[in-house]
Structure 1
Amino acid sequence: MAEEYRPLSRRTLLTAAAGGVAAGIVSTSLLTGTAGAAALPGRKRLLIGNVDALGNGSIAVADPSLTGTPSSIAVSGQPNSIAGAPDGIRAWVATQFTPGLALVDLDKGKVETEVMVGGFANNTVVSSDGKRAYVSVGSSGGGGSRGHVAVVDTANGEVRARIKVGFLPSQLALTPDGKRLYVADATATGVSIIDTAKNEVAGAVKTAKTPFRIAIDARGTKLYVASFRELTTFDLGTGQQNGTTALTGRPCGLAVGPAGTFAAVSLFTGRTTPSLLALVNTQTNKVRNQSENGRAHGPLVLSRDGGKAFVLDKENRKATASNTTDAKPENALSSPNSSKPTCVAFVETA
């Protein structure tokens, strides 16, 4: 069920987030509008969440070529997830500690707004129209003994509802039309389905194993669930399983190509063996290409055209870019100041 919920506080940061001082002023700006001066259309950026040894979080704004020196934007605590706004100018960042959600202006290089979501935030997604942000929140703080999904109105930064779902909701996947939100629980089997019009749980997809990562294709017809040593496909119309692919190791990242013809999975295979990037043919449910990818037991993201896979290598503290033809790494970017990369997103201005 959903409960009406108002955040404890909301702030607009009036100075640059890197070392700036927060002013205790409620934001009144429309967060879905265009930020600042006119943006260059088609500008591509790779956003990498990092955390240093002291727990300080930041977002590196890098060129997708992984060349040059990225700019850095400080955020409150470890970033766990990044979701770009539709305009490609800003991004929502879910953080492990209070307040839990931050809106970052990529051009201005600062945090614009912070939202109290009632616990530590695991993952976030934004609707295609930019009007709603959904945040999976762990079982602490305002979530009580169970976790919940916070529904954030991006026009004013208010949490409109919190939907109790599972004990530790982690991964989120939103259908392209925004009508259904799929939620994976890190402590259970199955994927919950939320009706976003009613803000309530409307059903579940049964899985044999705990879902580590989930994704939905661009047409909104298939749900992909990555579990230990396998990738399973479900038909969203019927909820029935229609394919399984054997994998090598534990999935740490999952993304589906824009045409739906392949899925990319980053795999942790053990402490003494190289991690892998696997490319799965979604028509045959077979791994078509696979390549070693450092110690890349971290999440991944695809470029908008699906030509590149950006995978985080947490042990070697870097991001790698691999082509999605043969899965082989082509370039890498080290994290600043020996920080550990935690999450990644690809954004492009409209």
Structure 2
Amino acid sequence: MRSGLVRFLALWKKEWIQIWRDPASIAIGVVLPAVLLLIYGYGISLDSLRLPIGVVVENPNPLTASFVAGLERSRYFSPEPYGAIGGAEEAMRDGKVEAILWLWSDFTRRGLREGNAPLSLIVNGVDANTARLLEGYFQGVWSQWLQWEANTSGQPLLLPVEVESRIWFNPALESRHYLAPGVIVINMTLVGALLTALVIAREWERGTMEALLSTPVSMAEILWSKTGPYFVLGMGGMAVCVVMAVALFGAPLLGSVWVLSLASALFLLSSLGMGLLISSALRSTFLASMVAIVATFLPAFILSGFIFDIASMPEPIRLFTYLFAARYFVTLLQTIFLAGNVWSVILPNLVALFLMAAFFLGNAWRISRRSLE
């Protein structure tokens, strides 16, 4: 028992020395997550702000000026005036504006009549997501302007339905609060799988695995000694990402830090196990790194719900997403950050991560034979 512990600690020390002598490992484990979070946090946004919109007014008057001023006050639009519809259409073909607002000549006469003033909104539909956002933003500005004009003139606003909306979990509608947890998942996937995908293969390429196998150490001791340091390194990178998400991007952390730590540990173990499995099976650092990126990073980006809504995917693809640990971790982080400790969501996803971690670590140990074959 004592000799086994001594061997394990010696292997643990050896791995830390190897990490310390290889600055790339520290850079990938700690520096890279921080850099990626900065790039994604500041560079990616699902909010469309200051959208250029061409405005054509056939009969300028105080009412049309009031409506255009409402567009200018909105943070979503940047109105550009055009004298005729032909010039605005040419500007949209050239990509100078994303939409055209065309206020017809009888806009003033029908302005507050049940909110159906004659106008046209022509939207560039090349980017379908931006087009939908622009249309929704315009409906909001239009409703607010109608209500403001009705209050100013003392006339009742005759609308068939008045909608009172409430937004849960992200009331500010800041996409960064939604994206920051997803970026953390991408970082942890890349760090966990890529680092350990190299460790066993590197030992085989350098010829040091034969030296290890000639000693009394077991394959389990080798695997755990290589997993432990990278687990500590990955959890350190996770802590850096969480602090940055809260301090720099204002992401609310409504759930328990302990639940967040447990979820992160289970996900990191599953990523490390997958990296060990790839490394043990291929024994080539080049092949292992390529397979790790394709098998972990790309699915975590595309199939985890980080960017693309899983519910809108075809049924076969939705079922396929259950094979990737990132799917469960994205759900966990978004729930813990934005909603708090919702146990009906947290517990099933924690169990899924535990099973995946056991599967990958168990299979990595199974195929790692203590032989040179």
Band of TM-score, shorter chain:
under 0.3
Name the larger-Rg structure: 2
Structure in which a larger fraction of residues adopt strand: 1
Structure in which a larger fraction of residues adopt helix: 2
Using CA pairs under 8 Å that are at least 6 residues apart, name the structure with larger relative contact order, 1 or 2.
2
